[in-house]
Structure 1
Amino acid sequence: MKKHYGILILLVVFGQVLVGQQKKITLEDIWGGAFSTERMEVLRSMNDGQHYLVLNADRQQNISSIDKFEYRTQEKVGTLVRTDAGKNIPFFTSYTFSKDESKVLLATEVEPIYRRSRLGIYYIYDLSSGAILKVSDQKIQEPTLSPGGDQVAYVMENNLYMLNLASGERKQLTMDGSQNDIINGVTDWVYEEEFSFVRAFDWNSDGDKIAFLRFDEREVPEFSMDVYGQDLYPAPHVFKYPKAGEANAKVSLHIYDAKTGSTREVALGNPHYIPRIQWMNHPDHLSVQTLNRHQDRLVLHKVNTLSLEVTTLLEETDAAYVDVTDNLTFLPDDRFIWTSERDGFNHIYLYDSARGKQQQLTSGPWEVTSYYGYDARKGRIFYQSSEQGSINRDIYSISDKGSSKRRLSSGTGTNQAAFSADFSYFINTFSNVDTPPVYTLHKASDGKLVKELKNNQVLLERVKGYEMAPKEFSTLSVNGNDLNMWMIKPADFDPSKKYPLLMFQYSGPGSQQVANRWFGANDYWHQMLASEGYIIACVDGRGTGLKGRDFKKVTQLELGKFEVEDQIAAARQLSTRPYIDESRTGIWGWSYGGFMSSNCILKGNEVFEMAIAVAPVTSWRFYDTIYTERYMHTPQENASGYDENSPLNFADQLKGKFLLVHGSADDNVHVQNTMRMIEALVQANKPFEWAVYPDRNHGIYGGNTRLHLYNKMTQFVLDNL
């Protein structure tokens, strides 16, 4: 016994020496790029499925090119286009092809509008002739080549245009577009943010029709925020933002016929939302998804664009809400693939509307987390799922009859796939808590490895030089549920000592923070805090994703109730562990996580001694219609659900240390949320700290902004926990 005891002491001492030799992570390391992962360039599969394209853009040299590679060999086999002053080919930062790959659209001078929307100057390059054409002298949005590459449609100043590349004829297809009034062909702010798309028009396969959405924003209330800038006076930025319970834009569907030059409106029965349009296989058949305001009834329609007849393909209902996705593929015979939570978990279905039949192709107590597409030649569907555990992701294929399921990935962790156009190959991105991203090429038929493309061994070696502690996964039994949890303890953890606990979470509906994947920036910050003697924990409570419909949707009409109860209960339970100091418990989060941390320090004031809320929602009355009403209905219908879970109404319960942070130009979660929280705390005569970052949006970044923010948060933790 004495001999073994001596060896144990030696190992502990040796471990402490090793820890002492390693560097501690600094904020300058994190935000200076020391832990940046090497990534694969964004690639686009060519139509033949055997080649792909990579954009190489060197800003310092002002040179960009689109290079062609072969999947099988990974060798470069040519360059399709390259910056060339002699040929008037400018430096470009992104590109798209026509469907027949005869022409490429090059984006230059791109500037952001909101999260996904962009303005830019665009050029069209003809791959056969080498000719280049500027689409417009003015900055435009969402230019899209027709399938045959002979025309381009785009949006300028809220109107839809079409340019004939051969004749140079330019047509203005809509005339009524104006800022904060009428929008044609692109989405309004709330659709862009919550339905995740900007381009609201599309060519049919023959290139002779364009389906587009029109938004009438005239009744939508305006939101204004000051942009401080560098001038003597700040400038107001005014845009239409429908807050919960307020008027949304009236949206309508229109079909432009290039042969007749006419535009006709499709009668859909005044739908509240039109979150998706997608052409079917027939050039005159368009699919349209509509939603009611509560978002608990989604209808998939088929529109005959010749007769404008509308028929129903599918109706999806849910007691809470129906998620809008892009998981839709039409087969040549107009059967279609769709995903649904109707059996309690998200799974893949094959529908035959003509015969009134549906077939469930995947099933089990796990979720299909990504739908990659359908190989019509082999009749196989490719997808990602959580079948190997809710914190993991794997790649699978299954036949369109629901048989012959194959697991195509092998590593335990997070696998993501990018398939070639003909589903011959896929590039797998794998990571887990111990492995930074590794990129490998595989055969799609059986998942067989063809070649490793790139790994992050250099980063892995660099990380070994820093003091890092393992991220430990487990579950915590809270309020009748086994909740996923990770925990980081100090590298020199001593179970006989007591440590302060800092909890991190997001907690939004369907989200997941406890996942078996490589570190993000916050993980490195948490490691830095662990090296200062803190234990960091993250618990995914009720309302988060990947554990089925009922677990996710239990928070319906009560955002911030069950999620807060779970965080408080989890903190209370963790504090009973002998190595955690129950008198020093903190929590922090960003956005929804800031809403949560605010509620936790107020409603859980006997449990939490400290909280940080970054860009928090403080009342769902201030947030947008689509997101908020999906989970809460309107304030007029559910006043108690809004008010009983709003931190504004519990400011007088603050006991601990509280830091509020916001960007003044946050177009998403407006700084109004933090200002109203500040006023509530002031009137309750409660001490707290706050910081507002001028002209920063929801991400609070730019220059040294992130570094400054995390310096402030670090000091707040050190001083108050």
Structure 2
Amino acid sequence: MKRIFYFIIILINTVIPLMAQDKTFTLDDLIPGGKNYAKFSPSSKELKQLRFIGDHYLFVQNDTLYKINPAHKKHVWVTKTDLQEALENTETNSKKLKRLPFITVASVDKNTFIRFDHDSHSFVYSPDQKKIVYSYRFEKGDTNKDINPKLNSYAVTNGSGLYLIEADGNRTCIAKENKPDILFGSERVYRNEFGLKKGTYWSPQGNALAFYRMDESMVGNYPLVDISAREGKLINIKYPMVGMKSHQTTIGVYRPADKSMVFLKTGAPKDRYLTNISWSPDEKEIYLQEVNRGQDTCSLVVYSSETGKRLRTLFTDSSKKYTEPEHPILFIPGKSDRFILLSRRNGYRHMYLYDTTGKLIKQLTTGPWEVLNAEIDKKGENIYFTATEKSPLEVHYYKLNFKNGKYNRLTQENGVHSAIVSESGRYLIDNYSNHSTPRIQRFYDLKSGKNNTLYQAADPYKGYGFPEITCGTIKADDDSTDLYYRLIKPVGFDPQKKYPTVIYVYGGPHAQMIHDTWMWDVRGWDIYMAQNGYIVFSVDGRGSNNRGLEFESAPHRRLGEIEGKDQMRGVAFLKSLPYVDQERMGVHGWSFGGFMTTYLMTHYPETFKVGVAGGPVIDWKYYEVMYGERYMGTPQNNPEGYEKSNLNNYAGNLKGHLLLIHGDQDPVVVMQHSLSFLDHCVKARTYPDYFVYPGHEHNVIGLDRVHLHEKITRYFNDYLK
């Protein structure tokens, strides 16, 4: 009996502490592609497809689309059953809907329609008539689907051709040449630079289609190999490298009514960039922001959409470093001779009001902050925009009135906001998070000031051991510029201990790693490493995004140098902390971050013991034209900059353990980068490690992404912990 009693006491003393302990994460919990990732995403259960229609708002829940009035009275608008019945009445052989599909709501002639894709079709459904009014069948290979504003036709690409699909089933080839190197309507024109995400542009009333014709015949083939075939299959891609011949583009205009076509007479030089296509409201003119090959000059040029003739150049902006237009001009409804331009001409991206003769009427916003996006209401009375006015860490939503020129911030709580406004402008739905708030969707009556919370996410990490995360500032290497950092302490942190530290770095343009979002924008892998006893640190140094042109362009023509010095300021800060083990410091990053990881390992070999560089740029002369020449010039006009930033020249400096990782189908940072570094290390008798992900492009995605982060973790555990 005593033995049983003692056994029970021992069992209780063992189980109670275990039950009191917080649960631990796995990589499947924290990494996109992991089995349980959705469970730990604070946005995974929010109201889906939230939007306004007039002053009512819509959302999807449980396979039902609800329509809610401003008093929050909810009624069912469309169900999965409604769509299924409409499908069966239209397409007898259509597969059954497994769930309510993603929908797009559109208005044509004051009627409201819902568009959705299913079973290789696109359908336009009328909720009032409860039937499908248009049905489009797509063929295998159809991509870049762009629907006409009237909803009665689609433009699609297939192979190198551009096609028009009409509601009656008619399929017309708009443009195609029997040359595989000439593409029409491609979304990858200029390799997705200059804010471009598509290659076709319908006119406002849908009477004409503007599209890119891209000729890559002058660009050499770059070989990739598909090893999934028994005999490796050669895949040639077009990859114009810096300083070499780039592809050429022209812009065509097709009119479905009479099947006529003209090409804009853009003339020479042919290797400039024709970016950010905009239609005039009357569909008679097309506006282009034309950037020269050197990317230091941008002109706003107007063409006739009917004859293709060049009509006028409104103005030209120049920069000592680079210009980078990323937003088409916005015409003001009801004032067809007025438009808004977003430009960084004065150092920060702001809004400028112009007329169509090129006269600057007014600069609408000003200050040391960036306008990120803008849209004009249907009445042409107000412009709504997002900006970093309050802080570089935050994004807020603003309203500017054209009549008085004043603007006010519509979102109040600190954080990163994504808002939408109703057609009348009275109601606003705000979707935001901040460092202490996982996710909130809130409805505002801007007239009365009242608000209702539509959805608030629970803390998805509750019950799990979670690290302490802090955000602060340090000075850049110039001793004056503030840089924001994020510091993550190990779970169960003991200030008396010394911990290994991993610096996660990106460092380049078009990226900002630290925002005032949930847990300071922390990544899942950061949490996992903190759980495993590491400090994880990041700093957004000069060269990163949303701090103005001077901040972003500081490393211009000498990539790595300025960014490296700012990262070392982060190292100095870490070394000032008594719990950081200065002998166990590592670094990890991907793409530009892979470049920075390798840069730090070879330029500061006494500081960093371990590094993991994913998809790293090694030698900028192997990188593509648009991005590479913007930030580095060409090897011909900047030989010193290219020589200093070529990490192959520093292969002999490597002392610590460096793992390079690459996808063998990478079309962004081709494997020539990492392989050339291995070659130089062999010659220099240094010894990096190497791992390849077969079949993956620039980023390892899907289930293999969990494997990737397990591989990275093991490497740090083997050599840093």
Task: Give the TM-score range, shorter chain.
Answer: 0.7 to 0.9
Match of 2:4 in 1: none
Deviation string, structure 1 residues 393-427 (Cα, Å, up to 9, x no partner): 22221222564322211211212223345544332
Q: Is 2:136–2:165's contact at 8 Å kept on the other side of the alignment?
A: no
Give 3-state SS (helix, strand or coil) of 1:644's partner: helix
Q: Give the TM-score of the pair, scaled to structure 2.
A: 0.87
TM-superposed deviation, 1:285: 2.1
Q: Tell me the amino acid that sits aligned with residue 374 of structure 1.
A: I
Change (3 A) 1:665 1:412: same
Query: For the Cα contact (< 8 Å) 1:103–1:124, is it kept in 2?
Result: no
SS in 1 for 2:28: helix
CA deviations over 1:344-391 (Å, ceiling 9, x no partner): 2222221224372231111222222x2231225372221122222211
SS at 2:241 equivalent? coil
Counting only pairs closer than 5 Å after superposition, residues 651-670 of structure 1 correspond to structure 2 as 651-670=651-670
Letter in 2 for 1:35: F
For residues 293-692 of structure 1, the aligned pairs below 5 Å read 293-307=293-307, 308-326=309-327, 328-331=329-332, 332-354=335-357, 356-368=359-371, 370-375=372-377, 377=379, 379-400=381-402, 403-421=405-423, 423-443=425-445, 445=446, 448-457=449-458, 460=459, 462-479=460-477, 480=479, 481-519=481-519, 523-692=523-692
Q: Secondary structure at the match of 1:515?
A: coil
2:239 and 2:105 map into 1 onto residues whose CA distance is: 34
- Opposite residue 253 of structure 1, the aligned amino acid is I
Name 1:123's counterpart in structure 2.
122
Cα distance in structure 2, aligned partners of 1:245 and 1:675: 21
CA distance 1:650–1:54, change in 2 (3 Å): same
The amino acid of 2:237's aligned partner reads: F
Structure 1: gaps of 5 or more residues: 1-16, 59-63, 110-120
Deviation (angstroms), 1:658? 0.9
Partner Cα distance (2:72, 2:652) in 1: 66
Relative to structure 1, the CA distance from residue 222 to residue 196 in structure 2 (aligned partners, 3 Å threshold; closer, same or farther) is: farther
User: Which whole-Å CA distance do the structure 1 matches of 2:406 and 2:206 have between them?
Assistant: 38
Which whole-Å deviations, capped at 9, do the CAs of 1:548-596 have from their partners, x for residues lacking one? Answer: 2211111111111110121123213421333222211111111111110
- Answer with 380-389 or 419-428: which moved more: 419-428
Residue in 2 that maps onto 1:237 = 235
Instruction: Give the C-alpha shift of residue 216 in structure 1.
Output: 1.0
1:107 matched to 2:107: no
> Residues of 1 paired with 2:549 and 2:447: CA distance?
31
Partner SS state of residue 82, structure 1: helix
Question: Which residue pairs with 1:43 in the alignment?
Answer: 49
Q: Could you say if the C-alpha distance between residues 493 and 293 of structure 1 is closer, same or farther in structure 2, counting changes exceeding 3 Å?
A: same
Say which of 145, 149, 164 aligns to 1:147.
149
Residue type of the alignment partner of 2:400? I
Q: Deviations over 1:200-259 (max 9, x none)?
A: 222323433222221111111222211222x42232222212122222221111222334
2:249 aligned partner: 251
Amino acid across the alignment from 1:258: P
Name the counterpart of 1:284: 284
CA gap 1:546/1:19 in 2 versus in 1, 3 angstroms: farther
Distance verdict in 2 for CA 1:164–1:400, change over 3 Å: same
- 1:162 corresponds to 2:164: yes
User: Can you give the 5+ residue segments of structure 2 that lack an aligned partner in the other structure?
Assistant: 1-16
Q: Relative to structure 1, is the Cα distance of residues 198 and 499 closer, same or farther in structure 2, using a 3 angstrom cutoff?
A: closer
Kindly tell me: are residues 250 and 382 of structure 1, through their superposed partners in 2, closer, same or farther at Cα, counting changes over 3 Å? same
1-structure distance, mates of 2:192, 2:198: 13
SS at match of 1:436: strand
Structure 1 distance, partners of 2:160, 2:70, is 41
Question: SS in structure 2 opposite 1:706?
Answer: helix
Check 1:414–1:208 CA distance in 2 against 1; reply closer, same or farther (3 A cut).
Answer: closer
User: CA shift at 1:597, angstroms?
Assistant: 0.6
Shift of 1:108: 4.1
Change (3 A) 1:717 1:353: same
Instruction: Kindly state the Cα deviation for residue 644 of structure 1 after the two structures are TM-superposed.
Output: 0.9
Match of residue 12 from structure 2: none
Q: What is the CA-CA distance between 1:436 and the residue it aligns to? A: 0.9
Cα 1:532/1:211, change in 2 over 3 Å: closer
Q: Cα–Cα, structure 1 residues 372 and 103, in superposed 2: closer, same or farther, change >3 Å?
A: same
Root-mean-square deviation (Å): 2.9
Distance 2:257 2:277 in 1: 21
What aligned pairs does 1:16-27 form with structure 2 within 5 A after superposition?
21-27=21-27
Q: Tell me the distance in 2 between the aligned counterparts of 1:585 and 1:596.
A: 15
Contact 2:134 2:152 (8 Å CA) reproduced: no
- Give the superposition deviation at 1:615: 1.3
Judging changes above 3 Å, is the alpha-carbon distance between structure 1 residues 528 and 198 closer, same or farther for their aligned structure 2 residues?
closer
2:177 equivalent in structure 1: 176
Question: How far 1:138 moved relative to its partner?
Answer: 3.8
Distance 2:102 2:621 in 1: 38
8 Å Cα contact 1:360-1:402 kept in structure 2: no
Secondary structure at 1:544 match in 2: coil
Change over 3 Å in CA distance of 1:105–1:221 after alignment to 2: farther
Name the aligned partner's letter for residue 311 of structure 1. Answer: R
Q: 1:470 to 1:194 in 2, by over 3 A?
A: same
Aligned-pair distance for 1:38?
2.8
Q: Counterpart amino acid of 1:502? A: V
> Which of the numbers 257, 260, 263 marks the counterpart of 2:261?
263
Matched with 1:75 is 74
- Cα shift at 1:45: 4.5
Q: Distance in 1 between matches of 2:661 and 2:450?
A: 47
Who is 2:218 aligned against? 219
Distance 2:385 2:274 in 1: 26
List per-residue Cα deviations over 1:656-681 (Å, max 9, x = no partner): 11111111122222222222222222
216-225 or 648-657: bigger deviation:
216-225
| Separation of aligned partners in 2, 1:702 and 1:357 | 49
Deviation at 1:472, TM superposition (A): 0.8
Distance 1:505 1:198 in 2: 26
Change (3 A) 1:534 1:261: closer
**Alignment partners' CA distance in 1, 2:680 and 2:219:** 28
Query: For residues 605 and 397 of structure 1, do their structure 2 counterparts lie closer, same or farther at Cα, with a shift above 3 Å needed?
Result: same
Q: CA deviation at 1:633?
A: 1.5
Could you tell me which amino acid in structure 1 is paired with residue 322 of structure 2?
Y
For residue 232 of structure 1, what is the amino acid of its counterpart? R
Q: Which amino acid aligns with 1:107?
A: D
C-alpha change, 1:24 and 1:244, in structure 2 (3 Å) is same
User: Cα–Cα, structure 1 residues 297 and 44, in superposed 2: closer, same or farther, change >3 Å?
Assistant: farther
Contact residue 124 and residue 151 of structure 2 kept, 8 A: no
Q: Distance in 1 between matches of 2:294 and 2:66?
A: 47
Q: Which residue of 2 aligns with 1:203?
A: 202
Give 1:69 shift.
Answer: 5.0
Q: CA deviation at 1:95?
A: 5.0
- Equivalent residue, structure 2, for 1:7: none
Query: Contact 2:515–2:521 (CA<8 Å) still a contact in 1?
Result: no
Provide the C-alpha distance between the structure 2 equivalents of 1:37 and 1:417, rounded to a whole number of angstroms.
18
Cα separation, partners in 2 of 1:205 and 1:566, compared to 1, 3 Å: closer
**Distance in 1 between residues matched to 2:48 and 2:236, nearest whole Å:** 35
Q: Deviations over 1:430-469 (max 9, x none)?
A: 11222212111224x4694532222211xx1x41312212
Q: Which amino acid aligns with 2:49?
A: L
Q: Is the 8 A contact 2:373 2:385 kept in 1?
A: yes
For the residue of structure 2 that corresponds to 1:334, the secondary structure is strand
